[in-house]
Amino acid sequence: MKKIGIIGSTGSIGTQALDVVRRNPGMFEVVFLSCHGNVELLKKQYEEFRPRFICSADGCHEKKLSVSDIINNEDLDMVLLAAVGAAGAVYAFDTVKRGITLALANKESIVASGRLLLDLAKKTGARIIPVDSEHSAIFQCLEGHDKSFLEKITLTASGGAFRNTPVDAMEYVTLSQALTHPNWSMGSKITVDSSTMMNKGLELIEARFLFDVEPNKLDVVIHPQSVVHSFVSYKDGSMIAQMGHPDMRTPIAYALAYPGRIDSGVKPLSLADAGCLTFYAPDMSKYPCLQTAIEVLKKDRNAPMIVMNAANEIAVAEFILGKIRFSDISCVINDVLDCLSPREPECFDDVLAVDGESRAEARNVVKRYYI
């Protein structure tokens, strides 16, 4: 049995991962589960899956151990990192440092420390398997192909809650509207990121590092049906796409079982039933966060990526709390990017320092200009 741990087990990705485990008895041993605050659900998960350890934000409930202690000392084959935010980067480093396979559903940790994390994985031999639907799709489309013939990687985007909203109405959207995703069931932070399309900007940066491709070989198209999860073009004119229902259990199951496949609980896709599939370029005037992320990506430096990601996390949190407007999110991010120009990080402590400085500046910007 594959020995696994899940960080963020009570969230959207974590609960769906446990559904995949439930559907495949005898294939996985759950060593630990951790959550940020939903302790009641964590206890129910413990009763069903009987992990050796359960941990919440206030520590491990079996022994005086942290999640890092468990990753650094227990026998593990894979850690699924499903927690939201750059704080998850420390667990990504812990996992990769030990040479354990990292199933990554936390795009912020790659955005914040991509080069350092991938370089460490090369040294230790740790495999990083993407769980985001787009990156899982790309991962599958690249498998078995000579990357020297790669022409372009294109990430698809649903367009979020406001894909049909006029640009001049974006200033007036509400939190409840931003949290209503047309295709996917996700947590609050990532759903807001989808509404601003910052999630696609973060995913472009993640793809740059995960697949070691130059920024000019990355692109985004809006695909409202969310059936094609991403596609890869090759120099011979071929284009390979990965398709399926918009259900995160598919990429989760692929990551957990890699290099094999297991039952995900997702029914096969019928193209006849899917009907017409449409694709079009995003309107950057509607999605300034995506435009900012593309500009940061083109710089191809880690420091601005850390600043942008940290500022976005603070801005989204302030929007969810009702302290700033939806349209202010991009303004906060750009203000922080204009204020800070930190040096490139040389170690993980440098990443944390830049991240902390950026969050502090983002809070200051919100207080100065938006409250």
- In this structure, the answer to whether residues 219 and 323 fall within a common structural domain is no
- In this structure, the answer to whether residues 240 and 330 fall within a common structural domain is no
Chain mean pLDDT for the chain: 93
- In this structure, the answer to whether residues 119 and 138 fall within a common structural domain is no
If 0-12 CB within 10 Å is exposed, 13-18 middle and 19+ buried, where does residue 15 land? Answer: middle
Would 119 be classed as within a structural domain? yes
Whole-number pLDDT of residue 83: 86
Q: What is the CATH number of the domain that holds 343?
A: 1.10.1740.10
Q: Which of 121, 98, 125 is nearest to 109 (CA)?
A: 121
Whole-number pLDDT of residue 368: 87
Domain that holds residue 83: 2-130
Q: CB count, 10 Å around CB of 282?
A: 18
Would 255 be classed as within a structural domain? no
pLDDT of 205 above 90: yes
pLDDT of 184 above 80: no
Would 259 be classed as within a structural domain? no
Q: Looking at 130, 154, 169, which one is the last position of a domain?
A: 130
Whole-number pLDDT of residue 108: 79
- In this structure, the answer to whether residues 187 and 282 fall within a common structural domain is yes
Whole-number pLDDT of residue 40: 93
In tens, the pLDDT along 304-326 reads 999 999 999 999 999 999 999 99
Would 241 be classed as within a structural domain? yes
CA distance 28 to 21: 7
Average of per-residue pLDDT across 144-156: 96
DSSP 129: E
Would 256 be classed as within a structural domain? no
Instruction: Give the total number of structural domains in the chain.
Output: 3
Q: What is the CATH number of the domain that holds 55?
A: 3.40.50.720
Would 261 be classed as within a structural domain? no
Tokens of 306: 């850390």
Q: How far apart are the first and last CA of the chain?
A: 53
Would 74 be classed as within a structural domain? yes
If 0-12 CB within 10 Å is exposed, 13-18 middle and 19+ buried, where does residue 257 land? Answer: middle
Q: CB count, 10 Å around CB of 91?
A: 24
Q: Looking at 102, 130, 158, which one is the last position of a domain?
A: 130
In tens, the pLDDT along 35-88 reads 988 899 999 999 999 999 999 876 666 556 789 999 999 999 999 999 877 778
- In this structure, the answer to whether residues 28 and 101 fall within a common structural domain is yes
Would 251 be classed as within a structural domain? no
